[in-house]
Structure 1
Amino acid sequence: MIMDVKDAIAAAPYEACERLSPRIRRVLARNPSAFTYLGTGTFIVGSGTVAVIDPGPDEDVHLDAILAATRGEDISHILVTHTHKDHSPLAGRLSEVSGAQIAGCAPLVLEDSGPRSDAAFDTSYAPDRVLADGDSVSGPDWTLTAVHTPGHTSNHLCFALPQEEALFSGDHIMGWSTTVVSPPDGDMTAYLASLKKLQAREDRIYYPTHGAPVTEPRKLVRGYLIHRKQRENQILTLLEDGPQTIETMVKAMYAMVNKALHPAAGRSVLAHLIDLERRGSVVRADETQWRKAA
């Protein structure tokens, strides 16, 4: 990043409504972290009758900012990409105030064994309608179509806006970092398949929930696939020296990364190992170590 993260947080337009395109506005929640970057970007789509995508954390100031941004308009739908606590908790209160229908991903609550406190699942999420792959909701000047993209979570959806050849990519594609894939619900096999699914699409721009818009989406997706293949090759190379623990592999693979992020990196390494195990490339040597398959 060109700007230091602390400087970027200090300059972030919290509570303001940013106009990103003729149909798209964004309100940024004040929940920055090592995993959310500047915070949750809540999108408002359309004019007059609008949809809100990823309402974000259940915070009064963020609710007030969304309501201020949509004053004089009708919120018909609240769409949710997945049920991590930085994405969906405000949906219930926003629905109560606005009368909007909550739609999007299926409910999902699991015990999270990963390193992210903000990634705990939202137990309050109660959609009025669950959208399957290809299902749509519409307003006067917009249509949003669900694109099922499991991997980060099994219930993850993106939303396509054909009127602008745009895709709201949630956490599947982020505008500042690669996403964490944390088993048991995070699944590298599914994540890679979902990347290939997006690569086959012709969206002009992505709007991630965290980070800046992605103006060359197919190039970025290709880079993500290359990055994951490189990580996979690193694992297989390390295992040439014999059985290893995930902790040992992370220290070698992420030597230049802040150690505070190593636990999250370990979850993605585990996800890669499970994927490689399914393909017969690695096996578990014992309770803590992995080795190459014979």
Structure 2
Amino acid sequence: FLTHHHVDHVSGAAALKQRMGLPIWAHRETAERVSFEVDREIEANEQLGDWTALHTPGHASGHLCLWNSKTRQLIAGDMVASIGSIVVEPGDGDMAVYLKSLESLKALNARVAYPAHGAMIESPVERFSAYISHRLWREVQILSALDQGDAELPELTRRAYSDVNPAIHWLAERQALAHLLKLQADERAQESAGVWSLRH
């Protein structure tokens, strides 16, 4: 069962299938993005024994989680991690969609969540709330950066991510862009020739 198509989640799948005869299951949008054959395409809300497949795009368009409503256990994939945050890469990732998926997972009121990265999360609702709050707080920082004047992405990142080590601003730039694209879709920001500004 593949949660999504990113290389750190699929690189051994074909070898496991060949060596152990394990079938590969994934969402259709994941199947379209991997270089090997997926044996079964899983639909949103499909029942797999005691588990329900939940389509949770945002980090990746074909991202799936597994939810057991009886035990209130969630296999969360890359929707959340026990430490740090999750990258939302512009293109396949979408910040607005990611936030919506986080809200839907929070509403499950899971007892425990198993992320792909890090340890088991024993208070998933609190973790999802913290993720949502952090993203919305960062959006405010980006709006504040835009309020300081029109700028290209590197300068906006410097302003909005002053709390982040400059050595990883290259990564922060991708997150800033994801936020800016959301703000653009919300008609709160605009871009022209690489320069971003507030939309009034």
| TM class by smaller structure | over 0.9
- Asked if 1:127 is matched to 2:34, the reply is no
Aligned pair partner of 1:166 in 59, 66, 73: 73
Q: CA deviation at 1:163?
A: 4.7
- Asked if 1:86 is matched to 2:20, the reply is no
Residue by residue over 1:217-242, the C-alpha shift from the partner in whole angstroms, topping out at 9 and shown as x without a partner, is 11111111111111111111111122
Equivalent position amino acid for 1:86 in 2: D
Equivalent position amino acid for 1:290 in 2: W
SS of the residue corresponding to residue 146 of structure 1 reads strand
Matches within 5 A, 1:204-215: 204-215=111-122
Q: CA deviation at 1:257?
A: 2.2
1:293 corresponds in structure 2 to 199
TM-score by length of 1: 0.64
Residue by residue over 1:34-57, the C-alpha shift from the partner in whole angstroms, topping out at 9 and shown as x without a partner, is xxxxxxxxxxxxxxxxxxxxxxxx
**Alpha-carbon distance in structure 2 between the residues aligned to 1:128 and 1:226:** 38
2:170 corresponds in structure 1 to 263
User: Is the 8 Å Cα contact of residues 104 and 131 (structure 1) preserved in structure 2?
Assistant: yes
Aligned pair partner of 2:132 in 225, 243, 260: 225
Larger Rg: 1
**Alpha-carbon distance in structure 1 between the residues aligned to 2:45 and 2:36:** 22
Q: CA deviation at 1:164?
A: 3.0
SS of the residue corresponding to residue 222 of structure 1 reads helix
Q: From the superposition, tell whether residues 164 and 261 of structure 1 become closer, same or farther in structure 2 (CA, over 3 Å).
A: farther
Q: Which has the higher contact order (CA 8 A, sep 6+)?
A: 2
**Alpha-carbon distance in structure 2 between the residues aligned to 1:238 and 1:93:** 47
User: Is the 8 Å Cα contact of residues 206 and 217 (structure 1) preserved in structure 2?
Assistant: yes
Residue by residue over 1:19-73, the C-alpha shift from the partner in whole angstroms, topping out at 9 and shown as x without a partner, is xxxxxxxxxxxxxxxxxxxxxxxxxxxxxxxxxxxxxxxxxxxxxxxxxxxxxxx
Equivalent position amino acid for 1:158 in 2: C
Q: From the superposition, tell whether residues 200 and 266 of structure 1 become closer, same or farther in structure 2 (CA, over 3 Å).
A: same
Equivalent position amino acid for 1:226 in 2: S
Q: CA deviation at 1:290?
A: 0.6
1:195 corresponds in structure 2 to 102
User: Is the 8 Å Cα contact of residues 204 and 216 (structure 1) preserved in structure 2?
Assistant: yes
User: Is the 8 Å Cα contact of residues 188 and 272 (structure 1) preserved in structure 2?
Assistant: yes
User: Is the 8 Å Cα contact of residues 82 and 118 (structure 2) preserved in structure 1?
Assistant: yes
**Alpha-carbon distance in structure 2 between the residues aligned to 1:196 and 1:108:** 26
Residue by residue over 1:116-147, the C-alpha shift from the partner in whole angstroms, topping out at 9 and shown as x without a partner, is xxxxxxx4342111111111323xxxx33211
Aligned pair partner of 2:21 in 74, 77, 99: 99
**Alpha-carbon distance in structure 1 between the residues aligned to 2:42 and 2:93:** 20
**Alpha-carbon distance in structure 1 between the residues aligned to 2:195 and 2:94:** 20
User: Is the 8 Å Cα contact of residues 83 and 125 (structure 1) preserved in structure 2?
Assistant: no
Residue by residue over 1:247-285, the C-alpha shift from the partner in whole angstroms, topping out at 9 and shown as x without a partner, is 11211222332333212211111111111111111111x
- Unpaired runs of at least 5, structure 2: none
**Alpha-carbon distance in structure 2 between the residues aligned to 1:167 and 1:88:** 20
Number of aligned residues: 198
Matches within 5 A, 1:13-32: none
Q: Percent of aligned positions with the same letter in both sequences?
A: 35
Q: From the superposition, tell whether residues 89 and 144 of structure 1 become closer, same or farther in structure 2 (CA, over 3 Å).
A: farther
